[in-house]
Amino acid sequence: MGPFGSNIKVSTFVPDGVPIISGNHLRGYFLEESGFNYITEEHAERLKNSIVFPRDLIFTHAGNIGQVSMIPDGCKYNRYVLSQRQFYLRCDETKVVPEFLLLFFHSTSGQHELLSYANQTGVPSIAQPASNLKKIPFKCPPMQEQLKWQMQVHPMLCRYLNNRLENERLSSLRDALLPKLMSGELDVSDIKL
């Protein structure tokens, strides 16, 4: 589970350090790595039960419930800390391939199971998220079958992630160039297309 709200406040943010994962970072299959707030390394150490790593699955348990993303291999940081509305699942990779669970929780069946523990009074939330996550029935195929599945799916997931990263890079480039073009700081009138 993420820490209590009083453990991470705006007053504890620093310009650089350990990034804090919030619901804004959980919009697709993989963690979106932009717009982070940060806390110091020392502060993160005090919140060690809320530190997550690549290949962990991150869930939102309050607010936009049903969000599930995986921290991908090759991400920008070697560790992150959860905000108060997130919780995580770290897979025993000798028993289950994390991507298999990720896609299960994105499926209609997985979303139904996850949201079956939702409380709709006030802010939507999942009651006792860590305990109820353990109750979700999941038919886990033998590891050999999962590994065969992973070999087939891995290239598609890599392409999905690479396309998203390229879109982020192009958006950043657009955001940097457009104001310069609009102000006349950059002149492209001599470029022949």
Rounded to whole angstroms, the Cα distance separating 52 from 169 reads: 25
CA distance 41 to 46: 9
Write out pLDDT tens, residues 103-113.
Answer: 999 999 999 99
| Options 3.90.220.20, 3.30.70.60, 1.10.10.10, 3.40.50.2300; CATH of 5-138 | 3.90.220.20
Is the pLDDT score of 53 beyond 80? yes
Q: What pLDDT is recorded for position 64? A: 86
pLDDT in the model for residue 4: 64
Whole-Å CA distances, 114 to 3, 32, 68, 139: 21, 21, 10, 15
Contact 90/50 with Cβ under 8 angstroms? no
Q: How confident is the model at residue 193 (pLDDT cuts 50, 70, 90)?
A: confident
pTM of the model: 0.85
Cα 69 to Cα 4, 13, 101: the distances in Å are 21, 24, 10
On whether the CB atoms of residues 85 and 25 are closer than 8 A, the answer is: no
- The per-residue pLDDT for range 7-51, each reduced to its tens digit, is 788 888 999 999 999 999 999 999 998 889 999 999 999 999 999
Q: Which two tokens stand for residue 193?
A: 């297309």
Residue 5 has what pLDDT?
A: 63
Strand (E) or helix (H) holding 115: helix 108-115
Domain boundaries, the chain: 5-138
